[in-house]
Amino acid sequence: MADERQPPGLAPASAGHPGPPRPARDMTVPRPIRTRRVRLPEPVSEMEGSRGLPAGQVLLGGLLGLLLAILLNAEELLRDAEEKPFGRSRDISVAVWEPVESLASTLHLTQPRRWADEALGRDISGEIFDLRTATGTEDEPGVSPDGVQRIEVSDGLLIADEDGEPTIDPAEGPATPTTTEPALPPGVPTPEDPLELWIVGDSMVQFFGDTLAGLANGTGVIDATAESKLSSGLSRPDFFDWPARLSGLIADENPGALVIMYGGNDAQGLVTPDGVAQPFSDLWVREYSLRVGAVMDLVTEGSDRHVIWVGQPIMRSDDFDNKMQQLNRIYEAEAATRSQVTYVDTRALFQNANGAYDRFLPDESGELVDVRLTDGVHLSTAGGRWLSELLLDALGEVVDLETGRGGS
């Protein structure tokens, strides 16, 4: 029997109307895809897109803006240069910025910065508190007819001889007698009338000041406040004037005791009437000793206020440690001549069994404690607590912190 199926690709013919065969659609041939051309915009450079300004004009505008900013801040730039440590770098910086500041001042371009500083309450006077004339008045600035500048002490006037050595004006009688026995302030602090304590100094104070204040406040008979200024000291009052700050602190707060620590930034040149004294030269030692003694007198004169002067701890660097030891000898010597000042040696607290620097030291239970930071200078939190406990004990030797505790 013959196969009656339709051949592939032929549609079945209707009865009576056979149609022509249609070719089969080849599914392997893709249909052509219609495409449209898209015209991309021409690339535009960043400079050409900036409102059409040429690159040269944009660059010139930036340079003029930078020049104006420099002129407006010329005084501050010169001040920053002058506050650098004495040396070639400072000389170059000052030589660069002095003519710039002079030009800006001539054009009165420094005035807007001054107005802004005044509005923000910043000190722009640039005046330095003069310890040698601090006790004088407007009419009598503390300089005698012979030109000698004097600093008042408890029982006489401290002056400098021809060699810069501190001495006593014989016409005014002897100074405070030399003694190592501190005088006890009258009265006993109580919770109702606590001893006001201020802890002041450089960055070392930043790492233990708040800890000491917390321990002191915990006694119930002390109201303590800590204040520190990084990179400060007694060598560069043009950077931060601690005598002026202390004078204002005494006038405003009248604390009953002070804890003071300087030195970490002071091993640098000192400006003296005879020029810049190089660190630890004879002139430098005389000048720095006078400054230390004058600060001690400034904060104790005319009061029963007691001062705890903190020595520098042992340092990791031998060179830096040697400098700090020389400063400690000055602090100890000046404190020894003033009954209201107690010098506290901190070296033994932070030495190991061999008398050397060590970051890890055993506590009372024999466990090693990390007491220093990685810089080999500052104290860790634990080290700050060790020092704070030592200083609170030292304060308790000269102020009765026990009797008044029962008064609450």
In tens digits, the chain (408 residues) has pLDDT values of 555 555 555 555 555 555 566 655 555 656 666 666 666 666 555 544 445 567 777 788 888 888 778 877 866 675 566 555 555 565 576 577 667 776 776 776 777 876 776 666 555 545 444 554 343 333 333 333 333 333 333 333 334 444 444 443 444 433 343 334 444 445 799 999 999 999 999 999 999 999 999 999 999 999 999 999 999 999 999 999 999 999 999 999 999 999 999 999 999 999 998 889 999 999 999 999 999 999 999 999 999 999 999 999 999 999 999 999 999 999 999 999 999 999 999 999 999 999 999 999 999 999 999 999 999 999 999 999 999 999 999 999 999 999 988 644
Does any domain span residue 269? yes
Does any domain span residue 124? no
Assign 372 to helix, strand or coil.
strand
CATH assignment of the domain containing 175: 3.40.50.1110
Does any domain span residue 144? no
Distance CA 373, CA 375 (A): 5
- Of 119, 140, 175, the residue at which a domain comes to its end is 119
Does any domain span residue 357? yes
Same domain, 165 and 88: no
What is the predicted pLDDT for the residue at 299?
A: 97
Same domain, 365 and 271: yes
Distance CA 347, CA 325 (A): 9
What is the predicted pLDDT for the residue at 107?
A: 76
Instruction: From 327, 310, 315, select the one nearest 268 (Cα to Cα).
Output: 327
Same domain, 372 and 299: yes
Q: Provide the b/e sequence for 87-102 (b: ≥16 CB within 10 Å).
A: eeeeeebeeebeebbe
Neighbours of 83 (CB within 10 A): 14
Same domain, 259 and 210: yes
Same domain, 104 and 183: no
- Asked whether the CA dihedral 180, 226, 270, 272 is positive or negative, the reply is negative
Same domain, 107 and 185: no
Q: Which two tokens stand for residue 2?
A: 């013959």
Same domain, 111 and 155: no
Same domain, 285 and 368: yes
What is the predicted pLDDT for the residue at 59?
A: 81
**Domain assignment of residue 112, given as a range:** 53-119
Same domain, 186 and 104: no
Same domain, 106 and 185: no
* CA 228 from centre of chain: 7
Does any domain span residue 323? yes
- The DSSP secondary structure of 208-253, one letter per residue, reads THHHHHHHHHTTSSEEEEEEE-TT--SS-TTT--HHHHHHHHHHHH
Distance CA 109, CA 73 (A): 8
Does any domain span residue 242? yes
Does any domain span residue 44? no
* Number of domains within the chain: 2
The pTM of the full predicted model, rounded to 2 decimals, is 0.62
What is the predicted pLDDT for the residue at 68?
A: 79
Same domain, 106 and 186: no
Residue whose pair of structure tokens reads 């002026």 in the numeric block: 244
Same domain, 333 and 388: yes
Does any domain span residue 175? yes
